[in-house]
Amino acid sequence: MDEALTQAMIEAALAGGRAILAVASSGETDVRLKADRSPVTAADEAADAAIAAVLGRAFPEIAIVSEESAGERAPAQSGLFFLIDPLDGTKEFVAGTGEYTVNIALVDKGRAVAGVIHTPALGRICAGVVGEGAREAEVVDGAPGPWRTIRARTTPASAPVAVASRRHAGPRTEEFLASLGVCERASRGSSLKFCLLAAGEADVYPRLAPTMEWDTAAGHAILEAAGGRVERLDGTPLTYGGPWAAGAKPWANPDFVAWGARSA
């Protein structure tokens, strides 16, 4: 993939992160509810604007679909578009845990082919291009340091290490983890879970609760670039931008499981 495209996604994620931190430092963390009853803050909106400005300036020919604007746009069923969550983990942002992210994905004909996830409060950024590999860096004073390659580790046949949602795990998730013989697990907010798998720090992440496509596309691309995979419960990969089944909520994901690398 054109390096200029990847670099624009990285710069956009960093710009979104700076916007979020600026709002956090101002103390403007009041939560409002959108029409769909999901939470939004001034940080979501500031990050959205900052990201759109960078991507729109660098690649004006590529459509942008964001959590904050998806309801205003027709489904992108083919072609190329950016899929963005400007602040994934609004509840983590408000709670001050630092486990919130900026998610930027590039989707091509329904497939997440590139992704960037930036964790502004924790100073970490991950990027990946499917077929070209994944990398991460520490972010200091708003700029990434040296990049290092990351790779998903082979999922063990027994006792894998799991990562699960901090706020959305439930009985079905517990039953699934028990069926795998999981004996060690970590709980994380937002799309950080995909980064842990991509970096070989965990083996499996089941999500048996509602998510939206902008929650997962960037992490899906990074994990696949690192050698892992994201699958629906029937083993088929997640796709993005529709078409959706009759009666399904636009932009909603089915249940899925993210895995490390397959054994040889």
CATH fold match for the domains 3-150 and 161-259: no
- The pLDDT, as a whole number, for residue 46 is 95
Name the token pair of 123: 């100073």
Give the CATH number of domain 161-259.
3.40.190.80
pLDDT recorded at residue 264: 62
Residue 215 marked in a binding site: yes
Flag whether 67 is marked binding: yes
What is the mean predicted confidence (pLDDT) over 179-188?
A: 84
189 labeled binding residue = no
Tell me how far CA of residue 47 lies from CA of 7, 53, 59, 152, 163, in angstroms.
18, 10, 18, 29, 27
Q: Is residue 87 annotated as involved in ligand binding?
A: yes
Q: Is 203 annotated as a binding residue?
A: no
What is the CATH class of 3-150? alpha beta
Condensed to tens digits (0 to 9), the pLDDT of residues 158-176 reads 889 999 876 666 788 888 8
pLDDT in tens, 97-154: 899 999 999 999 999 999 999 999 999 999 999 999 999 999 998 899 999 999 999 9
231 labelled as ligand-binding?
A: no
The stretch 68-82 carries a mean pLDDT of 68
pLDDT grade for 75, boundaries at 50, 70 and 90: low
Between residues 243 and 7, which one has the greater pLDDT?
Answer: 7
Asked whether residue 85 is marked as a ligand-binding residue, the answer is yes
- What is the per-residue pLDDT for 77? 52
Residue 157 has pLDDT above 70, yes or no: yes
How much of the chain exceeds pLDDT 90, in percent? 66
Please say if the pLDDT value at position 5 is more than 70. yes
Query: Where in the chain are the domains?
Result: 3-150, 161-259
pLDDT tens sequence across 30-63 = 788 776 667 788 999 999 999 999 999 999 999 9
Q: Please tell me the number of Cα atoms within 13 Å of 109 on its side-chain side.
A: 0
**For 123-139, what is each residue's pLDDT tens digit?**
999 999 999 999 999 99
Task: Please give the model's pTM, rounded to 2 decimal places.
Answer: 0.94
